Chain A
C-alpha cells in the first residue's frame, strides 16, 4: 500500500503546485507532475508479482501467459502520455503568448494589468 501512498503524495504535490504557485511555468510543471503520478499509479495497479512484459515470443507455452502483467492499463497510459505532450505544447504556447503580451509570468501581476 505504501507505493500507492507515495503516488498519492506525488499527485498532491502536483496539485499544490498548480493551486498555490503564482508563476505560470510553475503551474505547468505542477500539471506535468500530476500527469506523471496518474500514469505511474495506473501502471502500478496493473503490476503482477514476478510479472513479465506482455510480449509473446516464439515458442512460448501457455503457462507463460499467466505471468504477464496487466496489458490494459499500459494501453491506456500509452495514449495518455502522448496526449500529455500535446497538451503541454498547447500550454507552453499560451505561456509564451501571455509573456509577450504582459512581459511577465506572474499571475498576480497579469491579473492587475488590463489590456
Chain B
C-alpha cells in the first residue's frame, strides 16, 4: 500500500473523538468502553503502519485492559459520577494545555525533525542487513528484542514481575501467619 495517509488520519480522528468521549462522559462504564475503542483503533493503525507484531500484541493486551478496567470499576456498584463539573477549572486547564500544545508544535516544527515517511534508520540499517545472517531469525523485530537488545527485554521482564508482585501484595488479604489483615 503506497499512500496510507487517509486511513491514518481517519483512525487518528476516531481516536481523538473516542478519547474526548472517554474523558468527558459521566458514566464510568462508557468511559472504559470508549478507551477500549481507542485501543482497538490503535491496533488497526499499527497494522497500517507496517507493524503486525505490535498490532497483535496491542489487540490481545487491549482485551485484557478492558476486562481489568471493567473489573475495577463496574463491579464496585459506583459507576456514575454525580458531581457537576467545575467549569472555571476546566476552562483554565484547557487554556493551559492548549498553550502547551501550541508551544510544543512551535518548538518541534522549528527543529530538524524527520518528516513523516522518511525515518533516519541509522542504527536499524545494521539490524535489517545483519538480522537474518547473524541470528537466523526471519522476524527482524524478534531478532532485535531477543538478541541484539535482549537487555531491554530483561529489564521489561523485571518491571512486569515487580508490578505484578506489587499488585498481588496490594490485593492480598491474609498476612504471612495466615490471619486476616484488618483494613482500617
Contact = CB atoms under 8 A, between A and B. Distances in A.
Interface in A56-99: 56-57, 65, 68-72, 74-79, 81-90, 92-97, 99
A106 B61 contact: no
Contact of A69 (B50, B57, B73): B50
Interface residues on A, range: 35 or more
Contact of B35 (A33, A78, A94): A33
Contact of A89 (B98, B109, B152, B167): B167
Interface string B132-160: 10000011110011000100110010011
Contacts of A36: 15, 38-39, 42
B20 A13 contact: yes
B83 A9 contact: no
A20 B153 contact: no
Interface string B84-128: 000001100110011011001100110001111111010110011
Interface of A: 1-10, 12-17, 19-23, 25-26, 28-30, 32-33, 36, 39-40, 43-57, 65, 68-72, 74-79, 81-90, 92-97, 99-101, 104-106, 115
